Amino acid sequence: MTNQLKCIALLFVFLFSCQNAKYEDEKSTDQNSQIATSAGGVVSSAHPLATKAGLSILEKGGNAIDAAVATGFAIAVVEPSMNSLGGRFQAIIRESDGAISGIDATTQAPLSYDPATATQSRNGYPTIGVPGVVKGLTTLHEKHGTMDLATVMEPAIKYAERGFQLLPLAARRHAAAIDHIRKYEGTSRYFMNGDTTYLAGELFVQKDLANTLKLIAEQGSDVFYKGEIAEKMVADVQANGGYLDMESLAAYEAKESKIVKGSYRGYDINSLWIPSFGAITIEMLHIMENLPMHEYSEAEWANAFFQANTWAYKDRRRQDSEEMADLLTSKEYAKAKLDSINMQNGKAAAMAYLPDWMTKDGHTTHFSVADKDGNMLAVTQTIGPNMGSKVATPGLGFLYATTLGGYLGDFKGGQRAASHISPTIVTKDGNPYLVLGAAGGSRIPTAIVQTISRMIDRNMNLPDALAAGRVHSVDTAALVETHEGSSWSAADIEELKQIGLEVVEVDRTGAFGRVHAVYFDSENKIWTGSADPDWEGSSEGIEN
């Protein structure tokens, strides 16, 4: 080899190494830990890069709220089929002084929307309502954050502008929606790579989304709801048969959520009232509190949960007033429910029908964050089913949620979309204990309740509680998680059948909700973050 060729070869190696180094922190590999412990704070999310975004803010001295805002914007970039800037947002926050509050920024029907004359559809422009994520994240930051918005948005902008390697499950979700993606100009521009969607491991770059994020970082939420981003959204949606308008965007606000409260065996449960399903989550726990869950076999525990799930879910349509919130979360009401359950016979009456809201790969994303001072919060973001409405406006780079058209029911103008989202905070004697939430449609409250019961009733640590097998009631059948690695044994399944349950075995991973949570060991002052083992998420903590 001549000296000239050697120089060329060395130059190639150098450039290749630099390129790899440039994207080293954007890579997502199996080496990312799903469990982390730290006295300084922990982030647990559904995507390793979103977790790293939040952790980087904690490392710079930001609090848990700053870290959550960074995580929220980042996960809208790296998990775009599950959530986006065009989606719904719900958060519950515990501040270091013990104060608990919530933010409701779910999607909303435009003010002049009339369901009687509107086009009914499962996806497309007619399903787009007023997005809430941007207002939710910026309001969270304004109320509780300590760092400037541009700083906490830096990781999200970097991931969008430089790109990141697409994870296998994300690539599969994109591929599953390819026929819808091809229908819309903007969606096709962002998610097609030639004749196919992007494959796992390929670099996924979103330049237009990066520019949208930069505008928000520079000008705040006004540019999204009143400025040039709003104008582009409305022009595109209205040109294609949708209902979004400037007046509805300008009037949209993130509201303070009503906190619903309960208790479970001495632990205080805090969650969110409609448009979240926190009352149903608490109702299940209150029913179960009347039963000796710690004494049961696995099958008996599953049957008891199945009964609580079935009877509490009958009340989903009754969440229509604050008086009803008090009723559904009362211990007396739960005891009355229990009296109608025959625990010797696993049969349960059929539930009133509600959409199960469960696609093959699930939907929605959740993350939990805590810091050294005791600030902690749970945030759930979603666009509905896989890839939401399937629509992205050319030039903006993000998908819109499915809201209108019957997916979440019929809405009058200005009404907000309710869903099974249920971010929850558990405390003990005023101290932090557990902050959690889940993704997975109607399986969200059941995944949360089973995690809490596994820890309190079955004395499991957080990672084991997330890995343990779950059940879920649909009509009179008990869906049971039986994929490889599930904790349910053949003997457990047989015992469930002997109890009298109609058992349907489900061997798909991720089909029973995906919980991302943080636990606090008050004795040793240590946080433990754990990501659901059925997903591709991670947990990371500040180095002690």
Inside any domain, residue 480:
yes
Please tell me whether residues 101 and 58 are part of one structural domain: yes
Please tell me whether residues 331 and 227 are part of one structural domain: no
Single out the residue in 321, 349, 382 at which a domain terminates: 382
φ, ψ of residue 512 in degrees (nearest 5)? -120, 35
Please tell me whether residues 236 and 317 are part of one structural domain: no
Please tell me whether residues 166 and 246 are part of one structural domain: yes
Inside any domain, residue 2:
no
φ, ψ of residue 192 in degrees (nearest 5)? -95, 140
Distance CA 67, CA 376 (A): 10
Please tell me whether residues 306 and 455 are part of one structural domain: yes
**Can you give the length of the chain in residues?**
544
Please tell me whether residues 188 and 221 are part of one structural domain: yes
pTM: 0.92
Nearest to 427 by CA among 37, 65, 94: 94
Please tell me whether residues 335 and 453 are part of one structural domain: yes
Inside any domain, residue 96:
yes
The CATH number covering residue 268 comes to 3.60.20.40
Distance CA 329, CA 271 (A): 11
Inside any domain, residue 29:
no
Please tell me whether residues 100 and 220 are part of one structural domain: yes
Inside any domain, residue 37:
no
Distance CA 297, CA 286 (A): 20
Inside any domain, residue 166:
yes
Inside any domain, residue 265:
yes
Please tell me whether residues 161 and 268 are part of one structural domain: no
Per the structure, the count of domains in the chain is: 2
**Per-position pLDDT tens, the chain of length 544:** 444 433 333 333 333 333 333 333 443 333 459 999 999 999 999 999 999 999 999 999 999 999 999 999 999 999 999 999 999 999 999 999 999 999 999 999 999 999 999 988 989 999 999 999 999 999 999 999 999 999 999 999 999 999 999 999 999 999 999 999 999 999 999 999 999 999 999 999 999 999 999 999 999 999 999 999 999 999 999 999 999 999 999 999 999 999 999 999 999 999 999 999 999 999 999 999 999 999 999 999 999 999 999 999 999 999 999 999 999 999 999 999 887 776 655 555 545 444 444 444 458 999 999 999 999 999 999 999 999 999 999 999 999 999 999 888 788 999 999 999 999 999 999 999 999 999 999 999 999 999 999 999 999 999 999 999 999 999 889 999 998 888 999 999 999 999 999 999 999 889 999 999 999 999 999 999 999 999 999 999 998 6
Question: Please, what's the b/e burial string for 313-349 (b: 16 or more CB within 10 A of its CB; e: otherwise)?
Answer: bbbbeebeeeeebeebbeeebbeebbeebeeeebebe
- Give bridge partners of residue 36 from the DSSP assignment: 529
CA dihedral 241, 242, 245, 249 (to 10 degrees): -160
Distance CA 152, CA 146 (A): 10
Please tell me whether residues 278 and 222 are part of one structural domain: no
- Active site residue ranges: 364
Inside any domain, residue 457:
yes
Please tell me whether residues 239 and 275 are part of one structural domain: no
The per-residue pLDDT for range 51-68, each reduced to its tens digit, is 999 999 999 999 999 999
Distance CA 470, CA 483 (A): 11
Cβ 70 vs Cβ 57: under 8 Å: yes
User: Domain range spanning residue 278?
Assistant: 259-358+424-541
Please tell me whether residues 199 and 310 are part of one structural domain: no
